[in-house]
């Protein structure tokens, strides 16, 4: 007799198969070969012009371009038009505008791409470098297969009818079998720079855990902490968030939860111990999740977003570039979350039993003894990697002041250098790599990049974005809030990586079409998909906190929903405003 879980899997697979067939049958049709008109409009004080160009799309054959010159009152624009181009995956229709004279802005440029059979698409610049504007449009190609794959993967990810790893392995298989990409390109994302970055980070995190350097740091900080009420919870949350910047949020929660439980056990008053236990374990879980958004290596959606930024916008997004986006979220959310937890569970300002925590933590720290040579070597490698991450590309004002712009070695290569160093020095061995690295996370991340690439190459992401252009009736700030809410809701029922994979490839062309900074939309989604605090299944830290038995399901949900709400408001309004103030995005 098949087990209940087996029957569930069979039902889900049958349902998935039926949905996949329906999606393949009723998917939007591919773009047709023929003659199209591209009507270019530029409305700027220095140039106001409207020109129509003929573009021939063909099933095969060579592509050709022609350059046209447009003269304004104070601006001259050279337009490179693809007069003939072939229809294929990963072969976008590309217009390039090179402006000289008075500057023009991206929102002043618009192309209406039409034909006589009712085809009508609105296009805006997808990339800008100085006064060179690129407008790319990948029409629908092999759309039936792309829609089917997206639907099948979404169902399997949301329902977990089969394991996330199995679904991840299925993605490149489907991509190859449906002729979207050849095997080499379909499998390349599994060691994409984003995957290499996380892999190197896992190796470094394993070394920190193996030699108890994370525990040593936690006890050192706690031994210097004053107060045992709410201030202690804030300290523990701060330590957890800091650890989560460099090691996985799961590992940081696994390190700090036992420390939190040890703290809780010292409280003799049953009522206070119950309240304090709930607040402390939830504080650790929330802080571990929040800390992951502070750095590029903190959570898998972060390097995934960087990959999309590189491919869509042509911008190299480094470790240093991420910090001013992610760190403000943590610095704002951490105290707000702490205050809510204190209020929610009515934690007293001082607890007598906790007054000697500083001394207890100090004794525990001393019991660890002096640092060994191996520990010192791990610290040296860790610090070296962090320094190299920060100095890949220095901010312009620093580069100008010291005459050095950075070493230019990619963050992923730096992470691998750190991992290789640990292996060469025998600080890590093959068992550490085989048994203590989350290979499932790497597979999920790689498959996410592969799926996102398939959506882009076939034009599906651009097509979905076009269907959502109705959001243009709303103010841009409201659109940003809506997208933030959608991202949080999706990550409640899917992994944060899966949510990012589904949303970002659609949101970037949507932002371009609505005249919203695509970098802004990408960062909102990348961070928002890590902002689910309501469900035990939402993030691994929440699962660990729930497993302690200190907090009931309804308490986690009611407390977490408020944190979700706070996170959406902080991210989509306050932090977005701060990003704009720092000149990181345009609103």
| pLDDT tens digits for range 52-67 | 999 999 988 888 999 9
The pLDDT value given to residue 368: 83
Query: pLDDT class for 282, splitting at 50, 70, 90?
Result: very high
Distance between CA 572 and CA 329 in Å, rounded? 10
Q: Quote the tokens at residue 98.
A: 């090179």
338: three-class secondary structure by DSSP: helix
By the 8 A CB rule, do 300 and 198 touch?
yes
Distance between CA 160 and CA 270 in Å, rounded? 39
DSSP-assigned letter for residue 189: G
The set of residues, in sequence order, having a beta carbon less than 8 Å from that of 402 and lying 6+ positions away, is: 394
Burial of 35 by CB count in 10 Å (0-12 exposed, 13-18 middle, 19+ buried)?
A: exposed
The pLDDT value given to residue 193: 85
pLDDT of 2 higher than 60: no
Q: Quote the tokens at residue 102.
A: 């008075």
pLDDT of 453 higher than 90: no
Give the model confidence (pLDDT) of 132-188 as tens digits.
Answer: 998 989 999 998 999 999 899 888 877 778 887 898 899 999 999 999 999 999 999
Give the model confidence (pLDDT) of 16-32 as tens digits.
Answer: 999 999 999 999 989 99
Among 110-114, 132-136, 255-259, 477-481, the minimum mean pLDDT is found in 255-259
Give the model confidence (pLDDT) of 200-236 as tens digits.
Answer: 888 888 888 889 887 787 777 767 766 556 788 888 8
Q: How far is CA 84 from the centre of its chain?
A: 37
The pLDDT value given to residue 229: 67
Tokens 């029922």 map to which residue? 493
pLDDT of 537 higher than 80: no
pLDDT of 486 higher than 50: yes
- Is 539 or 161 the better-scoring residue by pLDDT? 161
Among 254-258, 331-335, 512-516, 521-525, the minimum mean pLDDT is found in 254-258
Instruction: Write phi, then psi, for 90 (nearest 5 degrees).
Output: 55, 40
**What torsion, rounded to 10 degrees, do the Cα atoms 163, 285, 299, 511 define?**
100
Cβ-based neighbour number of residue 401 at 10 Å: 10
114: three-class secondary structure by DSSP: strand
The pLDDT value given to residue 356: 60
Query: pLDDT class for 353, splitting at 50, 70, 90?
Result: low
Distance between CA 404 and CA 203 in Å, rounded? 30
Mean pLDDT over residues 327-347, rounded?
Answer: 92
The pLDDT value given to residue 52: 96
335: three-class secondary structure by DSSP: helix
The pLDDT value given to residue 354: 61
Distance between CA 14 and CA 380 in Å, rounded? 53
Give the model confidence (pLDDT) of 386-397 as tens digits.
Answer: 888 878 877 777
Nearest to 463 by CA among 147, 25, 60, 94: 147
By the 8 A CB rule, do 532 and 490 touch?
no
By the 8 A CB rule, do 535 and 492 touch?
yes
pLDDT of 4 higher than 70: no
Q: Chain-wide mean pLDDT for the chain?
A: 86
Distance between CA 140 and CA 132 in Å, rounded? 26
The pLDDT value given to residue 334: 95
Query: pLDDT class for 456, splitting at 50, 70, 90?
Result: confident
Q: Quote the tokens at residue 20.
A: 């996949």
The pLDDT value given to residue 1: 47
The pLDDT value given to residue 102: 94
Sequence-ordered alpha helix ranges (H) in 292-437? 301-313, 319-345, 357-367, 373-390, 396-402, 411-424, 430-435
Task: Give the rounded percent of residues in the chain with a pLDDT score beyond 90.
Answer: 38
321: three-class secondary structure by DSSP: helix
By the 8 A CB rule, do 74 and 46 touch?
yes
pLDDT of 40 higher than 90: yes
């Amino acid at each position: 007799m098949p087990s209940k879980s087996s029957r569930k899997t069979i039902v889900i697979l049958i349902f998935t198969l039926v949905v996949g067939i329906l999606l393949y049958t009723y998917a939007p049709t591919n773009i047709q070969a023929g003659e199209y008109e591209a009507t270019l409009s530029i409305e700027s004080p220095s140039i106001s012009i409207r020109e129509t160009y003929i573009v021939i799309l063909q099933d095969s054959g060579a592509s050709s371009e022609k350059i046209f010159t447009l003269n304004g009152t104070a601006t001259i624009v050279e337009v490179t038009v693809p007069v003939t181009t072939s229809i294929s995956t990963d072969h976008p229709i590309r217009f390039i505008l090179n402006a000289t004279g008075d500057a023009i802005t991206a929102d002043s440029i618009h192309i209406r791409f039409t034909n006589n059979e009712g085809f009508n698409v609105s296009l805006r610049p997808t990339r800008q470098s100085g006064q060179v504007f690129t407008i790319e449009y990948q029409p629908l190609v092999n759309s039936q297969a792309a829609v089917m794959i997206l639907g099948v993967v979404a169902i399997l990810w949301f329902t977990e009818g089969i394991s996330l790893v199995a679904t991840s392995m299925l993605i490149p298989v489907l991509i190859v079998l449906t002729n979207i990409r050849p095997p080499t390109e379909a499998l390349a994302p599994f060691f994409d720079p984003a995957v290499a970055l996380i892999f190197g980070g896992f190796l470094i995190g394993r070394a920190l855990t193996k030699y108890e350097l994370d525990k040593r740091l936690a006890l050192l900080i706690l031994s210097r902490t004053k107060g045992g009420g709410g201030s202690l919870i804030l300290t523990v949350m701060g330590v957890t968030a800091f650890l989560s910047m460099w090691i996985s949020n799961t590992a940081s929660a696994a390190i700090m939860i036992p420390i939190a439980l040890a703290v809780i056990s010292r409280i003799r008053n049953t009522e206070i111990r119950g309240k304090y236990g709930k607040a402390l374990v939830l504080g650790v879980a929330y802080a571990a999740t929040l800390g992951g958004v502070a750095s590029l290596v903190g959570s898998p959606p972060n390097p995934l977003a960087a990959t999309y930024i590189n491919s869509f916008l042509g911008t190299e997004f480094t470790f240093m570039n991420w910090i001013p986006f992610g760190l403000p979220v943590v610095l704002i959310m951490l105290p707000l979350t702490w205050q809510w937890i204190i209020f929610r569970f009515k934690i007293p300002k001082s607890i007598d039993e906790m007054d000697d925590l500083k001394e207890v933590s100090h004794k525990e720290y001393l019991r660890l003894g002096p640092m060994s040579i191996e520990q010192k070597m791990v610290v040296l490698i860790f610090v070296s990697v962090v320094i190299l991450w920060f100095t890949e590309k220095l901010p312009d004002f620093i580069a100008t002041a010291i005459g050095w712009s950075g070493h230019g070695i990619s963050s992923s290569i730096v992470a691998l250098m750190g991992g290789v160093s640990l292996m060469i020095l025998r600080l890590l061995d093959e068992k550490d790599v085989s048994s203590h690295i989350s290979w499932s996370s790497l597979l999920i991340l790689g498959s996410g990049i592969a799926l996102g690439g398939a959506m882009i190459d076939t034009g599906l992401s651009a097509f979905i974005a076009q269907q959502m252009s109705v959001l243009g009736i709303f103010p841009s700030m409201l659109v940003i809030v809506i997208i933030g809410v959608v991202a949080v809701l999706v990550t409640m029922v899917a992994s944060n990586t899966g949510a990012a994979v589904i949303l970002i490839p659609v949101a970037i062309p949507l932002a371009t079409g609505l005249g919203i900074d695509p970098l802004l939309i990408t960062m909102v989604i990348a961070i928002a998909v890590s902002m689910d605090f309501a469900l035990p299944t939402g993030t691994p830290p929440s699962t660990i906190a729930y497993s302690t038995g200190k907090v009931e399901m309804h308490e986690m949900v009611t407390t977490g929903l408020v944190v979700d709400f706070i996170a959406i408001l902080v991210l989509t309004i306050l932090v977005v405003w701060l990003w704009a103030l720092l000149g990181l995005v345009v609103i």
